[in-house]
């Protein structure tokens, strides 16, 4: 695939925060129609990597291109991105429907399409509720709906399924897969392996180093890490 066809191209990415090297020479590519999963424990650098791609965090050296734009030289790529951060980022003083309307107007979204999206995500009966009062599952669904307005070409998701019930996970995953099947690109971070069967490409991020894996290899790696954790704990308690 040529450089012009890639949605994301990262080369030799290094990020230092103080004396700590968070990301250590990371390189990867993401293409149209790809669901790219970044798996790893908390504190492994997943959020920093996602934020760098989204133009939220700075980095020390390397090259990051999104839709052909060098993220260090322009912010023009941001209008093609939808993002769901781990921390709440919606307007909490607005009602759920008002967030859809306001963010949709900023993105110039087709509101008929937005209404269909709201319906598919099971939000239709919650539009008049205060955003701050939504439970975790509804809030994540609303965040995804807002991120998909436009629609974007690149969807960035940080722990999209963390702390929510299976019904919300199911509805969100269907929308993500439909987005990808329609030619969109999704890069998502996960600290559990439940989603490894849904992604088209997966990598393991640990100590700032990215390792490509297939789903079966990822499961094996996860089981080994859990086993080592228990063995270490048992040794300390012996």
Q: What is the predicted pLDDT for the residue at 236?
A: 65
Q: How far is CA 89 from CA 19, 194, 207, in A?
A: 29, 25, 27
Specify the pTM. 0.92
Q: What is the largest CA-CA distance in the chain?
A: 63
Name beta bridge partners: 123: none
Q: What is the predicted pLDDT for the residue at 227?
A: 80
Q: Is 209 in a helix, a strand, or coil? A: strand
CA 134 to chain centre: 21
Closest among 76, 99, 95 to 149, alpha carbons compared = 99
Domains, the chain, in order of start with CATH, read: 3-89+151-237 (3.40.50.300)
| Residues 14-63 pLDDT 10s | 999 999 999 999 999 999 999 999 999 888 899 999 999 999 999 999 99
| Residues 77-114 pLDDT 10s | 999 999 999 988 999 999 999 999 999 999 988 888 89
| Residues 127-148 pLDDT 10s | 999 999 999 999 999 999 999 9
């Amino acid at each position: 695939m040529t450089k012009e066809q890639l949605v994301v191209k990262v080369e030799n990415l290094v990020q230092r925060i103080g004396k700590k090297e968070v990301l250590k020479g990371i390189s990867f590519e993401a293409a149209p129609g790809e669901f790219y999963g970044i798996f790893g424990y908390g504190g492994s650098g997943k959020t920093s990597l996602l934020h760098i791609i989204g133009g939220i965090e700075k980095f020390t050296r390397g090259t990051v291109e999104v839709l052909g734009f060098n993220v260090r030289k322009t912010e023009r790529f941001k209008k093609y991105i939808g993002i769901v951060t781990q921390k709440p980022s919606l307007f909490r003083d607005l009602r759920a429907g008002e967030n859809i309307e306001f963010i949709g107007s900023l993105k110039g979204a087709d509101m008929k399409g937005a209404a269909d999206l709201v319906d598919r995500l099971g939000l239709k009966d919650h539009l008049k509720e205060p955003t701050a009062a939504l439970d975790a599952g509804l809030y994540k669904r609303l965040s995804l709906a807002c991120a998909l307005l436009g629609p974007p070409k690149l969807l960035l998701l940080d722990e999209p399924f963390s702390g929510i019930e299976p019904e919300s996970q199911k509805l969100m995953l269907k929308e993500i897969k439909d987005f990808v099947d329609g030619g969109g690109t999704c890069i998502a971070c996960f600290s559990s392996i439940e989603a490894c069967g849904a992604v088209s490409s997966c990598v393991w991020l640990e100590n700032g180093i990215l390792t490509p894996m297939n789903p079966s290899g990822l499961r094996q790696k996860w089981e080994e890490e859990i086993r080592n954790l228990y063995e270490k704990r048992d040794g300390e308690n012996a």
